[in-house]
Structure 1
Amino acid sequence: MGSGKHRWKISIYRSNSTTSKLDTRSSKPPNEFICPISGSLMADPVIVSTGQTFERACVTACKNLGFTPTLNDGSVPDFSMVIPNLALKTSIFNWANVSLSSPPKPLELADALKLLESTPAAAEKLTAEGGGVESGELIRRVGESPGPNLFQHADSELSRRQTRFDSGESLSGSFTGTPLVLATRPSCYSSCSSSSEFELSESGTCEDDVYVARLRSTHVYEQEEGLVALRRTTRSSVESRVSLCTPRLLSSLRCLISSKYTDIQVNSVAVLVNLSLENVNKVRIVRAGFVPPLVDVLRGRSPEAQEHACGALFSLALDDGNKTAIGVLGALQPLFHMMMRSESERARHDAALSLYHLSLVQSNRLKLVKFGSVQLLLGMVKSGQMPGCALLILCNLGACNEGRAAMLDAGAVEFLIELLRKGEFDSESTQESCVAALCALSHGGGLRFRGLAKVAGAMDVLKDVVENNSRERAKEKARRVLEMLKAKEEEEEEVDWEKVLESGFQSRPITRPGGQSCSNSTDF
């Protein structure tokens, strides 16, 4: 029978994959266990950006020498990103154990370089780079000057991350890469490629009953052991993320998110982030009741758990079917607090992404406006704290009457025009967001907006955007506001805008046809 621990290990790596059907008595390893570069059994396999798997030392040697091999199938690998292939590594060592072969040892960098020398293309590269020096000297140089760091996500993600940053660290450049609206993965899930690019062996998947038994154990160490294994599996395998997202496992996982043990809470929320990456799981997770415990985590004291909770809510908010439910269940204010106050850059990013997607829904816009988010977002822009992100959320809020009115009351028109006039932006995308916010405020050609825009000198500033901005979308939005201002200027009789604004126009009653009275709003 064996001990319980032994049975657990056997169950975790049980697989119906090709490797499990092989004749384990054979001393010849399966082809997928062989490194395409070294031609030997891999001990530390890693996946590169293009999906192939190699021995880590071979990848390191190729990167350090600037050499990219052409494989037998004619493909050329991309070594820019690397992650450990834990599933394949487990299969290799299990095969070695069952077949009574010696476990493979990691290839040394010097040995990898010697292997590369035997390849004609690599030898030519070595000669060119080495300037005629002996190979031993090249090996020494490569060993002393390692190349760029390899990203070991699956390992590093299971350890504690630094959550404090130097006070002088700039936050304004957080979204200078991919535009916020296009992001589809939480920052805490920092995989080198999209989930569809992983082609791992099925040895990384297993039945959910094995995990459920561990998660429901009365022993804390067994719960943590199960969570760590589940986290590894769901991080690297698309199939496991789909097959393991069962009602039983979700129920067990939800209970652990509220655990008083920090490590269990952190790992359980991290598992949820991994499961939420697949579109088919997003609505299922919200309906399983995960939003309230995630909100509690945001209000808790564990920075790493909060970081993962922000990532989970962002991932879940990508599905339109979840947006309203997440807002109703009380996630908006805690997310806003995380965006403004968290010491973790990843938590701030994912909280901002969550709020951006959640504010695409009218009901959530109204909630954000009611608790005073407009003034806080404008304050973030003024202080240079994630201005691009804050402006994009303001653009969404400006899509409703209540949001526009709150922005006008807070002096957004004068502030945004002055911001464009100064031109002090961290990126062109932030400048475009500033123009987009003005465009949202101008929706419907509200009389109050036109008055504020004219007094602030919007015409000249927007003309400058049309003439000098390199982004066509920013130019188009600026033209739209200009056309609205010019069209209304031709239709209206001359008005003393300064006098209108000073006379308390905001609270001035307007009489509609039929004698009905109302207070001023953005549109008339």
Structure 2
Amino acid sequence: MATAWPRWRPSSPPTSFTADPPAEFLCPISGTLMADPVVVPPGQTFERACIQACAALAFSPPAVAADLSALPPSASSPLVLVPNVALRTAILNWCDRLSLPYPAPLSPDTARDVVRRLMPSPPPPPPPQQQPRSQAPTPPPASSVRTRSQYSDDFVQQQEARQAGGSTEERIMAMLTADGAGPVEQEAAMALLRKTARENKEMRRVLCTPRLLAALRPMLLSGDAGVQVNAAAALVNLSLEAENKVRIVRSGAVSPLVEVLRSGHPEARDHAAGAIYSLAVEDENRAAIGVLGAIPPLLELFACAGAEYLARREAGMALYHVSLSGMNRSKIARTPGVVRTLLAAAEARVDRANETDAAALRRIAVMILANLAGCPDGRTALMDGGAVAAVVRLMSNGSAAPGSAEEEYCISSLYGMSRGSLRFRGLARAAGVEAALTPVAEGAGGVGRDMARRTLRAMRGEDDEAAVTATGLLGRQWDDGSVVSEGLVSIRRPPPRRSSYAAGASGSNTTQF
């Protein structure tokens, strides 16, 4: 029955109308309910007009992780904004539930006014200081002179690299912008960038500029194979420096890389997978990589039996690192065919000559399976796809040998699927989980043994929910996070990125191309 409101306050809204909206529904810049939420490449969501105003004014408020002041002003390098459809739907549903009007988008002028209010006022000029003539400048202490001398060589090297990098940048831009520049000139420019970025880390830092990154993006989408391959390889080399990884993602390079993965030249595809793997190592980049659509083409490349081993490995490692983000685990779990693909890679049988490569791909597959088992969508997808029986087969047929890293990932997958699932009990009994885990549960100590014991207790309905959140097992409270990444100290580290192949070898993904 509707509440009768006093006649003298006909415009007063119901109490529920004034309910505070969830914090995630508010734009961090304007503080108002978002009408057109968009995701900026680092993974943050803002009102479209507000983030565009920040970019137009070259100002980055504290709430914005992206360095908007570093964006080139040219129209050819727009800020990449991805509509956050899920959040917008949630906001509209919240408004419907409370009978509130939908939020209206901010006008560009209003958004600029909001941003200008956040911009600091210029500091007043410092008052002139007069120094008595008799007072001589104080010489620096001897210790500081010695300290500076310790770094003089590094400083000289950095200065030389900056000068060389600036000269190289100008040469590349001149080649790309010259009258009549075509695929031949573009390929030469990208080959120069690729070669120079391979030489040393200081050059990679110097060459990772907004201008070069903006020029590199359209080269990734070139119809010329040579241009595309060299551009993708150059981006891999630039991404090797930790400080460049976030900068590259913020420049909008992920979307062209995804297009290369989908329909690019085969060699460029391989390099694109390597670039996304390198960028996904940085935690701040993972959500953006998932939002920008990299998961399906990475999965397709990982599943492609006809692709080069190194390309499949790079795609798999990119998926593994992307799956460390909670947002992406659900995306991966909902990708059609993901469990079938991962299980096929885990159970693949090849000739002895290729067994080493197959074992590496098998390990990557079970690493991703273990991560997926850390979220509800992942557990459901794994059990729907027959992962319980498949994991037991891996442990029983020697593919995941006792004491191996593969066995520990298999155990963590079973442990993750057992969390809060009555369905798991029936599947586990049918698959023979008890026979596979009992030797581990009765063996030496370690996290693997504890996970095996807890999984067996869950099968018998004896699991204690209080024990699930015990920090002694996972290193931190269980929060449906990555089973592998949340502190399982006995789980082996993922295979390291190879540090040296034949630099620049055609068709192979290398640390330096």
Instruction: Give the TM-score, by structure 2 length.
Output: 0.52
**Residues 276-291 of structure 1: pairs in structure 2 closer than 5 A:** 276-291=239-254
Structure 2: how far apart are the matches of 1:290 and 1:398?
31
Counterpart in 1 of 2:171? 210
Local SS of the residue matching 1:299: helix
Counterpart in 1 of 2:417? 441
Shift of 1:202: 4.4
Structure 2: how far apart are the matches of 1:439 and 1:324?
26
Q: Which amino acid aligns with 1:488?
A: E
Structure 2: how far apart are the matches of 1:249 and 1:382?
43
What RMSD over aligned residues (CA atoms) do the two structures have, in Å?
A: 2.8
Shift of 1:483: 4.6
- Contact 1:215 / 1:253 at 8 angstroms: preserved in 2? no
* Alignment match of 1:366 (pick from 310, 330, 349): 330
- Contact 2:158 / 2:202 at 8 angstroms: preserved in 1? no
Structure 2: how far apart are the matches of 1:337 and 1:420?
26
**Residues 171-182 of structure 1: pairs in structure 2 closer than 5 A:** none
* Alignment match of 1:357 (pick from 321, 330, 354): 321
Counterpart in 2 of 1:462? 437
Structure 1: how far apart are the matches of 2:165 and 2:341?
47
Residue 372 of structure 2 corresponds to residue 411 of structure 1: no
Deviations 1:484-521 (A, max 9, x none): 44671899xxxxxxxxxxxxxxxxxxxxxxxxxxxxxx
- Contact 2:172 / 2:189 at 8 angstroms: preserved in 1? yes
- Contact 1:216 / 1:223 at 8 angstroms: preserved in 2? no
Counterpart in 1 of 2:345? 380
Which is worse superposed, 315-324 or 383-392?
A: 383-392
Q: Using a 3 Å threshold, how does the CA distance of structure 1 residues 201 and 480 change in structure 2: closer, same or farther?
A: farther
Structure 1: how far apart are the matches of 2:252 and 2:397?
47
Structure 2: how far apart are the matches of 1:429 and 1:489?
25
Counterpart in 2 of 1:340? 303
Deviations 1:114-149 (A, max 9, x none): xxxxxxxxxxxxxxxxxxxxxxxxxxxxxxxxxxxx
Structure 1: how far apart are the matches of 2:254 and 2:432?
46
Deviations 1:392-444 (A, max 9, x none): 11111111111111212222223322332333337922222211211111224
**Residues 95-106 of structure 1: pairs in structure 2 closer than 5 A:** none
Q: Which amino acid aligns with 2:290?
A: G
Q: Using a 3 Å threshold, how does the CA distance of structure 1 residues 490 and 349 change in structure 2: closer, same or farther?
A: closer
Shift of 1:219: 4.0
Q: Which amino acid aligns with 1:206?
A: G
Structure 1: how far apart are the matches of 2:369 and 2:284?
22
Q: Which amino acid aligns with 1:277?
A: L
Counterpart in 2 of 1:258? 221
Shift of 1:466: 4.1
- Contact 1:215 / 1:227 at 8 angstroms: preserved in 2? no
**Residues 38-187 of structure 1: pairs in structure 2 closer than 5 A:** none
For structure 2, which runs of at least 5 residues remain unmatched after alignment? Answer: 1-153, 350-357, 466-513
Structure 2: how far apart are the matches of 1:282 and 1:451?
45
Counterpart in 1 of 2:427? 452
Structure 1: how far apart are the matches of 2:399 and 2:231?
42
Local SS of the residue matching 1:230: helix
Q: How many pairs were matched up?
A: 292
Q: Using a 3 Å threshold, how does the CA distance of structure 1 residues 421 and 314 change in structure 2: closer, same or farther?
A: same
For structure 1, which runs of at least 5 residues remain unmatched after alignment? Answer: 1-195, 492-524
* Alignment match of 1:423 (pick from 377, 395, 398): 398
Higher Rg:
1
Structure 2: how far apart are the matches of 1:221 and 1:314?
29
Structure 2: how far apart are the matches of 1:210 and 1:367?
42
Q: Using a 3 Å threshold, how does the CA distance of structure 1 residues 489 and 371 change in structure 2: closer, same or farther?
A: closer
Q: Using a 3 Å threshold, how does the CA distance of structure 1 residues 318 and 424 change in structure 2: closer, same or farther?
A: closer
Q: Using a 3 Å threshold, how does the CA distance of structure 1 residues 423 and 467 change in structure 2: closer, same or farther?
A: farther
Q: Using a 3 Å threshold, how does the CA distance of structure 1 residues 221 and 449 change in structure 2: closer, same or farther?
A: same
Deviations 1:280-303 (A, max 9, x none): 111211121111211111122522
Percent of aligned pairs sharing the same letter: 41
Shift of 1:222: 3.0
Instruction: Give the TM-score, by structure 1 length.
Output: 0.51
- Contact 2:161 / 2:202 at 8 angstroms: preserved in 1? no
